[in-house]
Amino acid sequence: MQGRTVIVTGASAGIGEALAIALAGQGANVALAARDAQALERVKGFCEAAGGRALAVPTDVGDPEACRRLVERTVEAFGGVDVLVNNAGITMHSRFEDVKDLGLYERLMRINYLGAVHCTFHALPHIKARKGLLVAVSSLTGKTGVPMRTGYAASKHAMQGFFDSLRIELLGTGTDVLVVSPGFVATDIRAHALGPEGQPLGQSPRDEAGPTMDVDTCVALILRAMERRERELVMTLTGRVGQVLKLVAPALVDRLAARAIRGKKA
């Protein structure tokens, strides 16, 4: 990534922060985007200490104009864009029947899906000019239904479909699309998950059984997939097996998903 310019959304914490610092350590110019300006400045310092150049651009990807300004400021600072990592997102943990306001679903779609669409729309001409790379950090919930995650799963299914379709449109242009589907990663995104009334739960609502991947391992896998310009990265064996099972035994996958929630019975 030496000398290349990378925009990372959701860069103030978790996967986005660790990925940005790792890219800076490889000599990349990193444009950092998130809503928390103070946190971005902290990450900017880490990126510069790692050896890269960094630009902090406070950005709410739910605002289309903010997405445009993010790309504009990146081009002004670094002369172009080679890679866009669409990582910004929020999650939600609730049974559908308990939800009080369907505006929560609109909010998830606006940030998780349309935020990526708007950033991609403005960055794509610059990325195509450099035969660069689009990265979408999705989720295993973008590939199969997960109970208690209807809003989040819907937004990630939309993200998966958009980038799968865009990849085909970009065939022959030298521009590649990588969709990343992590499983459970040890970040604080779950602690900020929205509940049925739209309030942050304030603690991890995770009651799913199974292992959690550490952030450094997750980032190492993403970097390798970016270097190889892979089309897709499904991080867990369970996720990869699940994709095969979904084709041949979809009802079984539903039952397994139900059993993955403690206290739920298939």
Q: Does the pLDDT at position 191 exceed 70?
A: no
> CATH: 3.40.50.720, 3.30.870.10, 3.30.9.10, 3.30.420.10. Which one for 5-236?
3.40.50.720
Q: Does the pLDDT at position 207 exceed 80?
A: no
Tell me what the pLDDT averaged over the chain comes to.
87
21-42 mean pLDDT:
97
Taking the C-alpha atoms of residue 148 and residue 141, their distance in angstroms, rounded to an integer, is 11
What's the pLDDT at 260?
65
Q: Is 25 exposed, middle or buried (0-12, 13-18, 19+ CB in 10 A)?
A: middle
Q: Does the pLDDT at position 262 exceed 60?
A: no
User: Is the pTM for the entire model greater than 0.85?
Assistant: yes
What's the pLDDT at 243?
73
Per-residue pLDDT band at 205 (split at 50, 70, 90): very low
Q: What percent of the chain has pLDDT over 90?
A: 65
Q: Are 25 and 79 in contact (CB under 8 A)?
A: no
Beta-carbon count within 10 A of 101 CB = 11
Based on the residue annotation, tell me whether 105 is a catalytic residue of this protein: no
Taking the C-alpha atoms of residue 138 and residue 159, their distance in angstroms, rounded to an integer, is 7
Name the catalytic one among 78, 113, 152, 162.
Answer: 152
Q: Could you tell me the residue ranges of all domains in the chain? A: 5-236
- Interval 34-81: pLDDT, tens: 999 999 999 999 999 999 999 999 999 999 999 999 999 999 999 999
What's the pLDDT at 121?
98
